[in-house]
Amino acid sequence: MATQNHGRSDWKSKAEEMSGQMAGQASAVADKAENIATKAVDQAKDLGKQAMRSAGEAATFVGKKAEEGTSAMGDQMEALGKRVRETGPQSGMLGTASSSMAEYLESGGHYLKEHGLTGIGEDLTGVIRRNPIPAVLACVAVGYLLARATRS
């Protein structure tokens, strides 16, 4: 019987030893998994930062190009206004109309060159804040006209 107890204690000690080894290995695997997860999270953060930086750079580039386009459009409007003024009738009702058209084109072109898209947005916001009811009515009217135009 003593041999049997001694055999059990050997098995018990071997089982405890194996259990300890398995716990150590499980802990090592858990540590490796945690390290891998931490590295993956860090890489994802870095990729996110790079994506945000790239998106910001793209938005800045597009914004600059839009402002340049607006300025070029202003130049073209001013040039068209000058051509209308030079080649249009100079007297009579048509002369008055062409002079007014030239003036509007030149002043609109100057406004676009000076203020750009940012200035247009700020001015539009100011007009809406000063006149909210007419702005809402104008939006409703435009929405109605767009709905009518797109309806088959």
At residue 5, the pLDDT reads 56
- Report if pTM > 0.75: no
CB 116 within 8 Å of CB 68:
no
From first to last of its 152 residues, what are the pLDDT tens digits of the chain?
545 555 567 777 787 788 888 887 888 888 888 888 888 888 888 888 888 898 888 888 888 888 888 888 999 999 999 999 898 888 888 888 989 999 999 999 999 888 888 888 899 999 999 999 999 999 999 999 999 998 86
